[in-house]
Amino acid sequence: MAPDPQPQLDLDRQLCFPLYAASRAVTRAYGTLLAETGLTYPQYLALLALWGADGPMSVGELGARLRLDSGTLTPLLKRLESVGLVTRSRDQADERRVQIGVTEAGWALRERVAGIPLELFSTLGLEASDAAELRRLLAQVVERLDAGMIG
């Protein structure tokens, strides 16, 4: 077999492929860990963002935090509202904005899922310093791509 004239196109040399595969694997693992709660991984992320906020968030703020557009976020939030985990209400100061708040049931769920990050961390078998370095590098990738430094 002749040497590849474009080795940069070898799948194993791509940064995108291990990121993609890791994202899918982590999402699948969270799906398993969240199964008993009835939450999907995106719903879990939305709740994490809401639990970490100082109070209710607008749909726009939540979308920016999660990097999701309103077309993706709205059905997710409607589902969380239908199961009683969040409330959606018009902002009193600007009726065009919808505010998302966590209900008592939503806060109670926070306690039920509190161990999930440690379970995943344990499953990964990474040292704490390796996990911190991986988070740092991934945050750097996202920041640079968002800033338009690449592409």
Q: What would the mean pLDDT of 60-88 be, rounded to a whole number? A: 95
Q: Is the pLDDT of residue 76 over 70?
A: yes
Contact 40, 77 (CB under 8 A): no
Q: 96 or 135: whose pLDDT is higher? A: 135
Nearest residue to 56 via CA among 23, 92, 20: 92
pLDDT of res. 95: 79
Q: Is the pLDDT of residue 150 over 70?
A: no
Contact 57, 50 (CB under 8 A): yes
pLDDT band at residue 88, thresholds of 50, 70 and 90? very high
What global pTM score does this model have? 0.87
Per-residue pLDDT of 54-65, as tens digits, reads: 999 999 999 999
Nearest residue to 118 via CA among 134, 131, 136: 131
Q: Is the pLDDT of residue 87 over 60?
A: yes
Q: Which two tokens stand for residue 53?
A: 């906020």
Q: CA separation (Å) from 67 to 7, 71, 147?
A: 33, 12, 14
Nearest residue to 82 via CA among 74, 72, 91: 74
Instruction: Go through the domains of the chain in sequence order and give each one's CATH number.
Output: 15-114 (1.10.10.10)
